[in-house]
Chains A and B, each alone.
Chain A
Amino acid sequence: QSALTQPPSASGSPGQSVTISCTGTSGDVGAHNYVSWFQQHPGKAPKLLIYEVTNRPSGVPDRFSGSKSGNTASLTVSGLQAEDEADYFCNSYTGSTVIFGGGTKLTVL
């Protein structure tokens, strides 16, 4: 199965908002609400930020929000902070397997 498509990089200044896209197909992202987003700092395990397209686990700041339109899911980080500089990954389900995006490196300028 093909990986989900994410832009390799994104950037923004402190206080700004950045949106990262995750494009799949009608067989995965577009088929259901099984889309999650993860944040990964260097040398660390990924951390769940968003599940089922829009839901945040307890403890995740509301600066992180998710949405979906058709076959593309999006993660928006509002009020950028220095600690938001990290890699971000999306994932979804094809009906038989879990697939991930290639990741987006977010730089806080």
Chain B
Amino acid sequence: QVQLQQSGPRLVKPSQTLSLTCAISGDSVSSNSVAWSWIRQSPSRGLEWLARTYFVSTWSYEYAVSVRGRVTINPDTSKNQFTLQLNSVTPADTAVYYCVRAPHAWGGIVSFDIWGQGTTVTVSS
């Protein structure tokens, strides 16, 4: 049974960096059959895909235009987890953040089958 366990601070000050970790159990971050993403949800912006990484011979990284230049997704093979860093945050980045898995065999780009528990992050001084 695959599970994703999120951790990270729930309060971040404006202009600072939001950092979240997603620990994987029951699967491998290096699996060549799935992709790993971060998605956020807020009342004002709805569900918003942020970033994706996957390993097929080499690591690939993709980012949403809305946060490109501020966001980094990184796999950590030694701890079987992946992380999200979002720089220069503003109150508009306040949201529930989810880590998710998508199997390549299921049209892996949008078929998010396993979700973390969600982390409510507030950007405020």
Contacts and interface: CB of A to CB of B under 8 A. Distances in A.
Given A3-B46, A46-B112, A91-B110, 12 more contacts: A34-B109, A46-B98, A51-B107, A52-B106, A55-B106, A57-B106, A57-B113, A96-B65, A98-B37, A98-B109, A100-B49, A102-B46
Interface string A38-55: 100000011110011001
Interface of A: 1, 3, 33-36, 38, 45-48, 51-52, 55, 57, 89, 91-93, 96-103
A34 B106 CA distance: 9
Nearest to A90: B110
Interface residues of B, number: 19
A48 B111 CA distance: 7
Given A45-B98, A45-B115, A45-B116, A34 B107 contact: yes
Contacts of A102: 46
Contact of B111 (A45, A52, A100, A101): A52
A100 B106 contact: no
Interface string B94-125: 00001000000011011111011110000000
